[in-house]
Structure 1
């Protein structure tokens, strides 16, 4: 279905919009994302489709239905139909109905419930037959070689559950961009379309000047990997790209995280820190880091780099991205913490968590964001800057808790609720799957569900997840 290598003819009447600088990068072009929301309700699929299509036709939101093309220089650009029609719809849509409960379906019956203690609960890739429609795109070429919109909606209906899947190329938006999309979709679903605010920037690029006027050096500039260092790192890790990667989902009860947080703050207070603050994400990542590197020799000085993806929106709200309108695009930076393996195991959990919190304070300032973006702009091939050394072990975190995806309120589309406790229309499980680049040791934190449980997933070399499961069983 996606075998053609020749791009479809350009439509002369399409509105052509150039890509924004920080969307057209090798990193984002490598990912096609599928996000599956599970509702313990029967939802009106046509209502969901109709409201999302209306959003794509709404003022400022038509880029959702854009087709991807390349200009004569090979740069990506959006081609937006002047009018969406039956032949050129604003989104790709598919709907499958099963006349049975999810518990009677061989695959859907494996959708996990929360665990009472930290546990590996499933392999999210086991649900591929459910979340990916037949012929669903798995690479940027699939978008370039067909006349399909960026946004896709796939719904799977059971008699007691509804799976709502949206999929898109990462070049379209990041996690908070997705949150803005979901918020606007909910308003349209509720008949409140007049309250929807157009995204920032219109057809322009609000971040066109980001990174062009640094006033200070990046604080980790002297630890930046050179091209030689990157090549060294690549050689050391190239086998990972060919090893079998195993994907798992982990549930961590909120009470467990809160206990870790209280303990860590107590340690900092005992060590003389005044009014210490650690977020739940700080301690969750610190705890998970120990598990994720537990296969390494504990006494080694080998560098572990915690590569934390974070949204630039708050840092840029004073000038480039003022509050009041969503930014549906990519506004992501990376905050790095460099620690020797030995410290991770010998020092208390509070040390790792505080190192992350301090890095966020130091490297998340407006001037440091400018400095980081300047390094990104000057890099060869638009690759974001990396810090550390060629023999480092890198773990990448992307915490989506601020996107509050579990608060997605589709109650306006509920036909029959099968939930208990008056939570009709809220998702009970969410997972994210990616096609294209599979990033070993990359862990998205999906967020906190409505019972306070945290969910995180990721890929690791074959065998490592089994070791983690053994440790969790002993905890």
Structure 2
């Protein structure tokens, strides 16, 4: 559906109204605010950061990032100001200036960094709850209700300045972007900072939904069709897990996987596959980390417990065959999912075999035909929460989910051109964290990426008490 005009009660001019894309408009995305937080060990110019990000959002086709959320006839709509102004800015903005060193601030002193990362063995290195208020603000928006009832843009920037460091937080309601959309935002923000705005491409699908027919033209069944939770199975799962999903206390931790240990994991996984005659099977670091950490996450379960490992995957490359043009950013949610169904006992058998099965699932479920089939199932199950992910497994399973942000390369965002003191070398974050506002998935993990030293970082939300099992195993220095 193309954009049309309406009058906003909160603005003197007519807004451009863009209906939410079909796959953006679900209960999960309207219930979560994302915070991508980068810590820099330099003093950055906050006004330069604000002005350049605003300049990006004010550009033609990028201005949807400055939209205001409103309730429409068919869910939510995005109201884009025809002209941004001081009273209706392109982005929400807050600057906090603290007249002290970062190490002198209690919460900031608890933030880990690539400099303080463990060298040989993985460890729990922090609790994001300790620095959430500092990085996000006590009044940070959490769900769509915090946007609909205000004139707040869906995208915001918070900058916290110390005498020797700067915390940069880009935040947005999940309806606006996924991790690869964030990459497009960050890459093009850097172009503005570097005086290269002329190189910024226009967004694709600004005022209409290029995925509006995705899932309507299936040519084959989804690989796991028949293993999805039925409505009764979903009800049973919800009864067993509803409290932990909606009400129970979640605990969040940050895990650092040092480069040296990561190399050990690669060798172990590769050798185990070779021993099983699977010498030619390709593995990514994501496959290995997901397999390794899943074994830790399931460590408290009995051997025969059914388990499901679910991963989010970007659909952009596969959809370039027909729905998305190569080379143009699609700043929206463009996700599909892959799941591996096991028992806890099967997970424990071999790191390499589990990593190989995870890779096979990614390859199989990431084809254009399987993406179409999966989204057909999403559409068929869309009532009443909207096009939510489909869960596979048994109603008594333990389900964990992953999102890998490595390709977003947040750890490599060079903000050297925003330094107060001129520098001639790149400036990368010393730490990246992702904080989720609103509903926290009860057992969900984000691989936030690989830093410049080759260390990997992972963060997750777990029901209370489960991190202690992981910590005990890490303290035993288990490498497989």
Contact 1:248 1:459 in 2 (8 A): yes
What is the aligned counterpart of 1:292 among 290, 294, 297? 297
Deviation track 1:167-192 (CA, whole Å, cap 9, x = no partner) reads: 11000000000010000100001111
CA separation in 2, counterparts of 1:81 and 1:448? 37
CA separation in 1, counterparts of 2:16 and 2:54? 18
**In the alignment, is residue 273 of structure 1 matched against residue 278 of structure 2?**
yes
Contact 1:190 1:412 in 2 (8 A): yes
Aligned-pair CA distance for 1:423: 5.9
Match of 2:86 in 1: 86
Match of 2:125 in 1: 121
Contact 1:417 1:424 in 2 (8 A): no
Match of 2:4 in 1: none
RMSD: 1.5
Match of 1:56 in 2: 57
Match of 1:5 in 2: none
CA separation in 2, counterparts of 1:318 and 1:198? 19
Matches within 5 A, 1:69-218: 69-71=70-72, 73-113=73-113, 114-116=117-119, 117-218=121-222
**Change in 2 beyond 3 A, CA 1:25/1:131:** same
Match of 1:16 in 2: 17
CA separation in 2, counterparts of 1:136 and 1:440? 21
CA separation in 1, counterparts of 2:34 and 2:205? 23
CA separation in 2, counterparts of 1:423 and 1:438? 38
Q: Give the gaps of 5 or more residues in structure 1.
A: 1-7
Match of 2:393 in 1: 388
Aligned-pair CA distance for 1:467: 2.2
What is the aligned counterpart of 1:262 among 240, 245, 267? 267
Deviation track 1:295-353 (CA, whole Å, cap 9, x = no partner) reads: 111x22x21100111101111111111211111000001100001111112x1111110
CA separation in 1, counterparts of 2:290 and 2:172? 27
Moved over 4 A (4+): none
Aligned-pair CA distance for 1:464: 1.6
SS of equivalent to 2:313: strand
What is the aligned counterpart of 1:407 among 409, 412, 430? 412
SS of equivalent to 1:282: helix
CA separation in 2, counterparts of 1:129 and 1:331? 30
CA separation in 2, counterparts of 1:134 and 1:60? 32
Contact 1:406 1:427 in 2 (8 A): yes
SS of equivalent to 1:264: helix
Contact 2:64 2:206 in 1 (8 A): no
**In the alignment, is residue 449 of structure 1 matched against residue 451 of structure 2?**
yes
Contact 2:222 2:370 in 1 (8 A): yes
**In the alignment, is residue 305 of structure 1 matched against residue 308 of structure 2?**
yes
CA separation in 2, counterparts of 1:417 and 1:296? 54
Aligned-pair CA distance for 1:130: 1.1
Aligned-pair CA distance for 1:27: 1.6
* TM superposition score normalised by structure 2: 0.93
SS of equivalent to 1:287: helix
Aligned-pair CA distance for 1:250: 0.4
**In the alignment, is residue 223 of structure 1 matched against residue 227 of structure 2?**
yes
Contact 1:265 1:277 in 2 (8 A): no
Match of 2:36 in 1: 35
* TM superposition score normalised by structure 1: 0.94
CA separation in 2, counterparts of 1:97 and 1:399? 32
CA separation in 2, counterparts of 1:68 and 1:373? 25
Q: Give the gaps of 5 or more residues in structure 2.
A: 1-7
What is the aligned counterpart of 1:315 among 315, 318, 327? 318
CA separation in 2, counterparts of 1:134 and 1:337? 38
Deviation track 1:403-450 (CA, whole Å, cap 9, x = no partner) reads: 1111111111012489xxx86421110111111111111001100011
Contact 1:258 1:280 in 2 (8 A): no
What is the aligned counterpart of 2:342 among 339, 348, 356? 339
Question: How many pairs are equivalent?
Answer: 461
